[in-house]
Chains A and B, each alone.
Chain A
Amino acid sequence: MTEYRKMDCDLLVIGAGMAGMVAAARAASLGIRTILAGNSGSLIFVSGMMDYLGVYPMEARKSVADPALGLAGLRAAEPDHPYGSVDHEQILQGFDFVKKVLGKAGLAYHLSGGRNLSVLTAMGTLKPSFMVPKTMEKGTRLFGETAEKKSLLVIDIKGLQGFSARQVAAGMEHRLARVIPVTVEIPGISQTIPPIVLAQLFEDPKVQEAFVRQVLAFSDKVDIAGMPAVCGVHNSLGIQQRLENLTGLPLFEIPGLPPSVPGLRLKNAFETSLAASGVTFLSNVTIKDPVFNGKKFTLTGSTDNRELSISAGGVVLATGRFPGNGLHARRERIVETIFHLNVHQPVTRSLWHGTDFLTRQGHLVNRAGIETDKDFRPLNKRGAPVFDHLYAVGSILAHNDWIRLKSGAGVCLVSACAAVDRFHKRRSKAGP
């Protein structure tokens, strides 16, 4: 701890996952001086697809076609859910905002017109989502009314673990007219290859040509082809178009076992956007020791070898759940790691998890989290906001089993946008 620096900003966003990135982007778009602190590495773990509300009710064990309908049911039955503070229009605006931000940074997304999209996964299962990378768009059209007339080529790549074309084919056979699995070998790859390394290889025209050579034989036999989501790290859409031109087949990407290339693209795009919009990104800075002096927050940011002091008018807590260490589960109870906020949680650990991993109701621990008011301000035990300008957004919010409801990105982006908007409104009302 040799250096000591001081920084000042209007809004400090803690956490560089989906919610933190969206919050920072939103703040920048409103002209707020923003610092974002966190580790964006975890974005590499997200699938790259953005869900709104894929399943409701959870017990139905099937996806919901129209998320707006699901939302109505959810808001009625569970008013404490983060979606309880926003409406359908706001959520759609949130998606639109993120789509524009990413588009400006060169990453194209496809936003559904209103109904959930069906995305084919590497397990051969279908996942409902609402906004997917443009490179996955064509796959979502596959399961329309004429599905049983379509034939699909599923391509896997030798050395890429956890993705078997035969497996995807086995899951899809009964839905489509014909599914052909094929394995493509990339020259020089004799062993396992991590997905991101493979994606980098795909930027090499020679690799693309080798891929095309092996796929070309099937172009007359099928209508469309799906491949693992490894179509380049940068300019994925361009590479996909090149492959389509060369093979004469429409192509789409199939998401698989993380680390995920679409997640990396997302991370890169968000970081590009931050840099362009003037947000200070303190990568890998750990935030701790918040102090509030009545007007401003002062927090300490630390890395392995230095510390800095950040003062901020408002703080957005987007630190995530257990994997992001926003919430930390001790043996006896769950705590929030930075502000030591009150965490809504089951009374004992034995209630955290059901006896069945794939249990119908989901695990209660996934509904633990921070309870907030309508403005996404964390509440203390008496039900009042802890601070005027402390907001909690994203997966850290309570009553939000985003995994089971397939609502992860939706909750992140709508809470992030709403919280930042309200911070902005309050600040401008209060005057400079």
Chain B
Amino acid sequence: MIFRILLYGVLVIFLIGLVYRFRSIARKSRFFERDKEPWAKKIFNFTATGFLFNTLFQIKLFKAGKLRWLVHGLVISGFSYLLVVHALDDVTSMMFSWYQPGIGPFRFLRNLAGVGVGLGCILFLVRRMNRARNIRETGDKGGLFKGTVSIFLILSLVGSGFLLEALRIISEPRFDEMVEEYSGLDEAGGLNELRAYWARNYHLVLKEAIPFASADFETGKALNQEYCLDCHERPDPAFVSSFLAGGITPIGNWLARFRVDLFLYWFHYGAGLLLLAFLPFSRMFHLVAVPVTSAWKKSTHVNLKKQMGLLEIFSLTACTNCGFCSQVCAVYPNFQITGNREILPHVKIDVVKTMAGKGLWDARAVARLRSGNDDCTRCGRCGDICPSGIDLVRLWTAADHLMESLGFPDNCTQALGTSFDIWTQPFPLPQVPGTGSSPGLADRVAAFEHCVQCTICTNACPVVAHDLNQNDLGPHQIMNLLRLGRKQMAAGSRMVWHCLTCYACQELCPQGIRVADILLELRAQGHRTAEQIKVSQLTNQGSDK
């Protein structure tokens, strides 16, 4: 009875969660909306093939990594099996009379599925840990546990299942209960013989060993056949559980006495319920979101603004933070140089999620996201590889619009729109580990003091030629500003922000000055200043309220 109540309770929570989740998606999507049209009216560019192939067969994941596809498949198929056959065994046995959880093939299959799921989860965690190491997520406080709650839940569900089965195998009280319920045997009726038989063949652990005789064994075998065998074959096909049972035999008596199996039963059941209740709120929600994102056609520039909203939130929830996107990110080298984690797509998407979810508000994090998103070249590699089928480029563009509406213009706009006085006022440099500490070219006098102001760089610069009436300073004037100790001013010039990095200036400089490298470095400096200004402006706004 109590199980039912719990189950229904959890189901209600689950449903409420789903409703809440969809409602919040609808609500949050307004952050992204560019016009007043309600999201429902917007065109839904459905692609059935994308939906089918990616949801059912995970083709994008297959393309991204075969091993990972395999692991993912293990978890999904194992879990599905366990869900249908094991968790819903009442239903299963009603539908298929031949189904008995205790007989060989089902025991084996259950263990096999459990192993698949458990192994998959462990491999997932190992990979996540490695990724953390690979991309030096030093600033990541959540570490391994961030976004992996569901995985741990599944692991504990599987683990407790195995343990429970193992304990039930060896448990004498459990045996006694079953005998009482299904046979009513007593000592005279051969209970001891059955016990002995079970102890020998079924790994049952007895409090007091029963002396063994072959006649008794035959009796036990007969009784077993009569009462037990229909439902309980030898436990060996449950290869994990019986192995575990063998392992805990020495303390079996002790465990049995305290009915640890009952505790584990509750734990196992609870974990399952918890997983269900938690699903709408956890990363597991991607079960729902991925089909949606997969079914959506890639957006074009034209329809993007119109449609911005709903899909973005689905995209955010569909992300499982697998990290493939960062592995292929074209501007990954920028991350290696600047150390700004918010360049990496898998980190960006997390920040966007926080920003969209809570309507901001760690100004500093958003400022960094700004720099990261500004570095993005929209090459599209991240979206191409995304196993969840998220149109990531679309998401980055949407994030741009979102940040703009929150008062975070891109750094170039910020730099060129900031008054000279504010731009050049000294800000404390942000403490990003591993960056900004070593002096760059723009700080080393020897790197630019040999400039003879011949202006060949400016004459060769395509930006100067193209943007004749708007561009403010030529590269040679930037070099001169550095000589004059006006690095900050140089970092705010159009030249620095519009530089194409074609390297014509550096190639032609008769004095061998690394002009383009210096411009690039100044832009990095400008990013930091723009961040500072935005953060300080937002902080000031906050204190005004």
Q: Do chains A and B interact in one complex?
A: yes
Which residues of A are in contact with B by a Cβ distance under 8 Å? 39-42, 44-45, 188-191, 193-197, 200, 258-259, 283-284, 286, 304, 323-325
A41-B509 contact, Cβ under 8 Å, with A191-B468, A197-B464 = yes
A39-B512 contact, Cβ under 8 Å, with A44-B459, A259-B459 = yes
Task: Kindly list 5 other residue pairs between chains A and B, CB separation below 8 angstroms, not including A45-B510, A193-B468.
Answer: A188-B468, A189-B469, A196-B459, A197-B468, A323-B510
A194-B454 contact, Cβ under 8 Å, with A39-B508, A42-B510, A188-B469 = no
| CB-contact partner of A41 in B456, B458, B464, B465, under 8 A | B456
In the bound complex, do residue B469 and residue A259 qualify as a contact, i.e. CB atoms below 8 Å apart?
no
Q: Bound complex: CA of A193 vs CA of B458, how far in Å?
A: 10
| CB-contact partner of B459 in A188, A190, A194, under 8 A | A194
| CB-contact partner of B454 in A39, A188, A197, A258, under 8 A | A258
| CB-contact partner of B469 in A45, A190, A283, A325, under 8 A | A190
> For B452, B458, B460, which residue has the most chain A Cβ atoms within 10 angstroms?
B460
Nearest CB of chain A from residue B449's CB, rounded to whole Å:
14
Q: Which residues on A sit within 8 Å (CB–CB) of B468?
A: 188-189, 191, 193, 197
Question: Is B514 part of the contact surface with A, judged by Cβ < 8 Å?
Answer: yes
Q: Which residues on B sit within 8 Å (CB–CB) of A197?
A: 459, 464-465, 468
Chain B interface: which size bin?
10 to 19
A-B contact pairs, 22 of them (CB 8 A): A39-B508, A39-B510, A41-B507, A42-B510, A44-B456, A44-B508, A44-B510, A45-B510, A188-B469, A189-B469, A190-B469, A194-B465, A195-B459, A196-B460, A259-B454, A259-B455, A259-B456, A284-B507, A304-B514, A323-B510, A324-B510, A325-B512
Q: Bound complex: CA of A304 vs CA of B509, how far in Å?
A: 13
Q: Which residues on B sit within 8 Å (CB–CB) of A286?
A: 512
Complex: chain A residue closest to B466, CB-CB: A197
In the bound complex, do residue A200 and residue B507 qualify as a contact, i.e. CB atoms below 8 Å apart?
no
Question: Is B474 part of the contact surface with A, judged by Cβ < 8 Å?
Answer: yes
Nearest CB of chain B from residue A258's CB, rounded to whole Å:
7
B interface majority secondary structure: loop
B215-270 contacts to A, CB under 8 A, are none
Complex: chain B residue closest to A191, CB-CB: B469
Q: Bound complex: CA of A39 vs CA of B507, how far in Å?
A: 8
Q: Which residues on A sit within 8 Å (CB–CB) of B465?
A: 194, 197, 200
Q: Bound complex: CA of A325 vs CA of B469, how far in Å?
A: 35
A-B contact count (CB 8 A): 53
In the bound complex, do residue A41 and residue B455 qualify as a contact, i.e. CB atoms below 8 Å apart?
no
Q: Which residues on A sit within 8 Å (CB–CB) of B508?
A: 39-41, 44
Complex: chain B residue closest to A42, CB-CB: B510
In the bound complex, do residue A283 and residue B507 qualify as a contact, i.e. CB atoms below 8 Å apart?
yes
| CB-contact partner of A45 in B454, B458, B512, B514, under 8 A | B454
Q: Which residues on A sit within 8 Å (CB–CB) of B469?
A: 188-191
Q: Bound complex: CA of A324 vs CA of B454, how far in Å?
A: 13
Nearest CB of chain B from residue A300's CB, rounded to whole Å:
16
Q: Which residues on B sit within 8 Å (CB–CB) of A189?
A: 468-469
Task: Kindly supply a per-residue 1/0 record for chain B positions 428-469, scoring 1 wherever the CB is within 8 Å of any chain A CB and 0 otherwise.
Answer: 000000000000000000000000101110111000110011
> For B459, B469, B507, B509, which residue has the most chain A Cβ atoms within 10 angstroms?
B459
Complex: chain A residue closest to B517, CB-CB: A304
Q: Bound complex: CA of A189 vs CA of B469, how far in Å?
A: 7
Complex: chain A residue closest to B450, CB-CB: A325
Q: Which residues on A sit within 8 Å (CB–CB) of B456?
A: 41, 44-45, 259
Complex: chain A residue closest to B472, CB-CB: A191
Q: Which residues on A sit within 8 Å (CB–CB) of B510?
A: 39, 41-42, 44-45, 323-324
Q: Bound complex: CA of A80 vs CA of B456, how far in Å?
A: 35
| CB-contact partner of B455 in A39, A190, A194, A200, under 8 A | A194
Q: Bound complex: CA of A180 vs CA of B509, how far in Å?
A: 38
Q: Which residues on A sit within 8 Å (CB–CB) of B512?
A: 39, 286, 325
Q: Bound complex: CA of A325 vs CA of B468, how far in Å?
A: 32
> For A193, A194, A283, A325, which residue has the most chain B Cβ atoms within 10 angstroms?
A194
Q: Which residues on B sit within 8 Å (CB–CB) of A200?
A: 465
In the bound complex, do residue A194 and residue B474 qualify as a contact, i.e. CB atoms below 8 Å apart?
yes
Q: Bound complex: CA of A212 vs CA of B199, how far in Å?
A: 111
Q: Bound complex: CA of A189 vs CA of B514, how far in Å?
A: 30
Q: Which residues on A sit within 8 Å (CB–CB) of B464?
A: 194, 197
Complex: chain A residue closest to B470, CB-CB: A191
Q: Which residues on B sit within 8 Å (CB–CB) of A45?
A: 454, 456, 510
Q: Bound complex: CA of A289 vs CA of B510, how far in Å?
A: 21
Complex: chain B residue closest to A161, CB-CB: B455
Complex: chain B residue closest to A194, CB-CB: B459
Task: Kindly supply a per-residue 1/0 record for chain B positions 381-404, scoring 1 wherever the CB is within 8 Å of any chain A CB and 0 otherwise.
Answer: 000000000000000000000000
Complex: chain B residue closest to A196, CB-CB: B459
